[in-house]
Structure 1
Amino acid sequence: MPFPTAFSWRRFYRSVQVIAWLLAALFAGPAQAVLVQSQAVQCAFSNGAGRPWQEVTPLASTTPVGAVLYQRSVALYTNYRYGGSSGNVAHELVSAGHWTPGTPLPEGIAPTNISGIGFKIVASSSDGVLRDILQSAKPVAVEKDYVRYDSSAGQNQRSQMVTNYVQSLVLTVPPGQLPGGKLVVDRVAGSAVLMLYAVDLVRGVAALGGEVTIPSDNIPLGICRTPYPLMGPAIIDMGGGPITIPNTCVVESYKTIPVKLGRFSLADFPKVGATSSTVPFRIELSQCAVNAKPQITFTDKVSGHSDPSVLNLSPSGNAAKGFGIVMTNELNGQRIKYDGTPYDMQRVGDSAVIPLRAGYIRTGSDAEIKVGDADGAAEFTFTFP
């Protein structure tokens, strides 16, 4: 009976084939995505959140011309769509920029509304190079992004290129020539325009750091040839807005100033209002800005005053009674009050000082006075109006 045997064998063979095809289908997995060459269209700019201004060099009387006073980083976003397949021709979106002709900008430093403080912007390119944005006839490429999309997602997906910039405020005159009062930098002055671009080009046409020629065609419709002109306040607003350069000094918040007034007997204070000999000391601030005019106020750490110019003694089991402490401002010869009255400090170079003298004063009658420890403490606060 050979026929049934041959028939059975063929059926078995076909079953094995079917199972093999099924297994191949199960283990083949999803089709791999294909990256399609494309072009960037419908470009639009949006500002990323600029980081806060950071002090680089304190503004003092000895700060050299050309010093960077403040600096911050800013991310500029270019949002775009894909324009469909460009076949075998690869494209890239190029970020470029320059200052246009107008007010001369030596070394790319533009004047601001504060005479003597300039504005400079550089691009922090992805190749690790910082590129100055200078005044030139053509823009210079500072960033590039390969334009291609995932075929499985389709060309309707959006994309984004980020160009990182660093803004700086630069001292352009000796500090003594800066205007008085508060220094609020809120705009770039002059007629030069900061012109930034997002332009689609055939890949390799533009090199980072090289000049870029903006094509005039519009194929496909809406292809990126997008300018982004900035003038005046808009340049400062690109990174988040104006900056006030503080007219302050370095304050050591932890600092205490011990003053030893000495030891005295009751005989040294024959009547109410009698004072001891005084001890000189001073409160000083360092690294003051050129226009800083600090003031200082005093408060008593022990509450309850019948006379705001007398510092109370600290209470303790062995504290003296019927006495207080007075301080004299040697700049005007007047007693210091502990009620928030502000006192001007004297500028000496890049420092500010207030010279003082302190001593004891008798405040009580014979029945009210008692010998003992005579300690007091005042807190002082600085303001920079």
Structure 2
Amino acid sequence: MNLFNVWRLCLMLPRGAACLLMLWVAIEARAAVNSVATFCTFTNGTGRPWVQVTPLTSTTPVGSVLWERGVGLNINYAYTGPAGTAHELVSAGHWGPGTPLSDGVAPTNIDGIGLKVGVGSSDGQRRTLLQTPLPVAVEKEPVQYDSAASQARGSALTTNYVQQLILTVAPSQLPAGKLIVDRVAGSSQLTLYAVDLLKGQVGFGSSVEIPLDNRPSGVCRVPYLLMGPAIINMGDGGGPIEVPNTCNVQTYQTIPVKLGRISLNEFPQVGSTSRPTHFAIELSDCAVNAKPEITFNDKYGPPADPTVLTLEPTAASAQGFGIVMTNELTRQAVRYDGVSYAMKRAGEGAKIPLSAQYVRVGSGEVLKAGAANGVAEFTFTFP
């Protein structure tokens, strides 16, 4: 505890003269008392939601991190009385024997997507938990309490884990259907430890031999075993992860379609149309299982007829006309009331071929020449 008392003495001196400053400092030292960590328990701490890192498309490289989340696990412990030597509480972990793992990547229920678990240690290094005979020290802190504050009951050591879903095969080799990762497959288990050791007995990244002694009573020698869904859900906030089967979508994509200048005489009756103009909407870098659908909306609608696109409502606009689009895959008119249309897969992409043409919707007395611009907005979904 530090005490600072400041006395300021300002004499009756002319303006601008200095004040006399007297500073008295009293420092009360506090000692950190060495102790031993006992009765360790693991609690979930804070598990963050999964966040997409790399979209899964047909060109995503093997080894890419698809999804990632941070997990803070706490080791709660109690102090004994004063100890003659300095101790540390060490957090350690490894993948145990069982299903062989390559580079610490465990298989999941989705063939071709694996799980890697790492730790952001307080020494600034990121360490991946591997399948090793002994656990590896990934975090530690001194076991000490403040002698001036009546002996504390205990403390907690937080280890900051990072889980990653890794693409382990080419996208074309992933199974068909929805990709929902909900557990680690195989027989390997993730084992974490809380171990009280003499200070300096192990360093960050060193193998840890778990002592066999149990003195003092309750000294921390605690394993924490995780298998199957528990690994995916460690720290809470995880749960099943659905890896989207998507395509590369260019946001705010604009496709201009010019229908040309056409005389009113070419529309002799209601329902008459101009010659169609052909175009297509395309997506690239689609995942193998992606089945994109597209939905259209009338920017100036809703239209009276859901198959006729409304012209831009300005004083200079033509009257008595609209625009119809045809889905060339089905030869049916496109609707603007929420109907979704499947796009055709072609190699690594997908597209929907379309055509557009003017259509007369009004009787003779309401026809007016002018600008004939319409806007069809479209969105993609990946069911």
TM-score, normalised by the number of residues in structure 1: 0.88
Shift of 1:267: 1.6
Residues 80-137 of structure 1 show CA distances to partners (whole Å, capped at 9, x for unaligned) of: 11111112x1100011111111111121111111111111111222222222211122
Bigger Cα displacement from structure 2, 223-232 vs 150-159: 150-159
Matched, 1:145 2:141: yes
- 2: distance between equivalents of 1:69 and 1:303? 39
Residues 62-95 of structure 1 show CA distances to partners (whole Å, capped at 9, x for unaligned) of: 22322222222221111111111112x1100011
Residues 118-175 of structure 1 show CA distances to partners (whole Å, capped at 9, x for unaligned) of: 1111122222222221112211111111111111123333211111122111112221
Contact 2:134/2:208 (8 A) holds in 1: yes
Contact 1:61/1:349 (8 A) holds in 2: no
Shift of 1:327: 0.6
The aligned counterpart of 1:356 is 354
Q: How does 1:225-304 map to 2 (within 5 A)?
A: 225-239=221-235, 240-241=237-238, 242-303=240-301
- 1: distance between equivalents of 2:131 and 2:302? 66
Contact 1:48/1:75 (8 A) holds in 2: yes
Structure 2 residues without counterparts, runs of 5 or longer: 1-23
- 1: distance between equivalents of 2:366 and 2:26? 98
- 1: distance between equivalents of 2:217 and 2:150? 18
The aligned counterpart of 2:337 is 339
Contact 1:83/1:155 (8 A) holds in 2: no
Bigger Cα displacement from structure 2, 246-255 vs 273-282: 246-255
Contact 2:317/2:371 (8 A) holds in 1: yes
The aligned counterpart of 1:84 is 81
Please tell me the root mean square deviation across aligned C-alpha atoms, in Å.
1.8
- 2: distance between equivalents of 1:72 and 1:298? 35
Contact 2:117/2:161 (8 A) holds in 1: yes
Contact 1:58/1:289 (8 A) holds in 2: no
- 2: distance between equivalents of 1:49 and 1:286? 38
Shift of 1:186: 1.3
Q: Which amino acid aligns with 1:329?
A: N
Shift of 1:29: 4.2
Aligned partner (choices 37, 40, 55) of residue 40 of structure 1: 37
Bigger Cα displacement from structure 2, 34-43 vs 65-74: 65-74
Matched, 1:323 2:321: yes
Q: Which amino acid aligns with 1:342?
A: S
- Give the number of equivalent residue pairs: 358
Rg larger in structure: 1
3-state DSSP class of the match of 1:292? coil
Cα 1:95/1:252, change in 2 over 3 Å:
same
TM-score, normalised by the number of residues in structure 2: 0.88
Residues 189-233 of structure 1 show CA distances to partners (whole Å, capped at 9, x for unaligned) of: 111110000000111111221211111222111111111100111
- 1: distance between equivalents of 2:302 and 2:109? 49
- 1: distance between equivalents of 2:167 and 2:320? 57
Q: Which amino acid aligns with 1:111?
A: P
Aligned partner (choices 173, 176, 192) of residue 172 of structure 2: 176
% identity of equivalent residues: 61
Matched, 1:62 2:59: yes
- 1: distance between equivalents of 2:25 and 2:334? 89
Aligned partner (choices 155, 161, 167) of residue 159 of structure 1: 155
- 1: distance between equivalents of 2:370 and 2:93? 76
